[in-house]
Amino acid sequence: MIRINLLAVSKAKNKRAAIAVSIPGEGMNVTVKILVVVLVTASLNMGYWYQLTREKTRIADQMGQADRKNRELAAVKSRYLEREKQMQAYKRRVDVIDQLRSAQFGPVNLMASLGDTVNRTEAVWLSTMRDNGTNIDIEGMALSQDAVANLISNLQRSGFFKSVEIKESYQDDHAKELQSFFFTLVCEKKS
């Protein structure tokens, strides 16, 4: 068998001694490669740092704009809430005025209807009328019991009362030549 040594390494006199063989230019290549890798890594890090710095300034600008917009909107919101309070106060006032107007016309309508009902009933005169909240007490005089009954039926047909009941009815003893009856009615209002 033939042995060919391509490295041109000289045989050492002592087997234990190692011979260092260096190839010219190879040590430098490794240093250059490491240096290139370090430079590329540093440039990538610098590019990433530059990108993060730009993003930081962009976010800071956006936050500044958002803060300005928030202050503007806070002022608008406070004006809106103030106007809303004014509107609610105005609405309460209008509701109170409307309620007072409806309460003002309620008794007027009731009195007009009661007056028309009494005028349509013959031989009946009213002396007093008391509003007790849900009831109205009516006192009066009639020339007959039939006139009182006609008044009760006319009051029921007027539509202002749930029920009309006679509390008492008696004949006047003082008038001898004229027959007259005093009556008291209790009328329950519709709600």
Domain for residue 103, yes or no?
no
Task: Please tell me the predicted confidence (pLDDT) of residue 16.
Answer: 54
73 and 132, same domain (yes or no):
no
Domain for residue 139, yes or no?
yes
178 and 127, same domain (yes or no):
yes
Across the range 63-67, mean pLDDT stands at 96
Report the domain count for the chain. Answer: 2
Domain for residue 156, yes or no?
yes
CATH code, domain with 149: 3.30.1360
139 and 89, same domain (yes or no):
no
Domain for residue 105, yes or no?
no
Residue 177: domain span = 121-189
Q: What is the percent of the chain where pLDDT is above 90?
A: 59
| pLDDT band of 18, cuts 50, 70, 90 | very low
Task: Please tell me the predicted confidence (pLDDT) of residue 131.
Answer: 87
Across the range 58-78, mean pLDDT stands at 95
Domain for residue 144, yes or no?
yes
147 and 185, same domain (yes or no):
yes
Domain for residue 9, yes or no?
no
Task: Please tell me the predicted confidence (pLDDT) of residue 14.
Answer: 54
Question: Is the model's pLDDT at 149 over the cut of 90?
Answer: yes
Domain for residue 54, yes or no?
yes
Which range is least confidently modeled, 1-15, 59-73, 153-167? Answer: 1-15
Domain for residue 185, yes or no?
yes
DSSP state letters, the chain: -----SS-PPPPSSTTS------TTHHHHHHHHHHHHHHHHHHHHHHHHHHHHHHHHHHHHHHHHHHHHHHHHHHHHHHHHHHHHHHHHHHHHHHHHHHHHHHHHHHHHHHHHHHHHHHHSTTEEEEEEEE-SSEEEEEEEESSHHHHHHHHHHHHHTSSEEEEEEEEEEE-SS-SSS--EEEEEEEEEP-
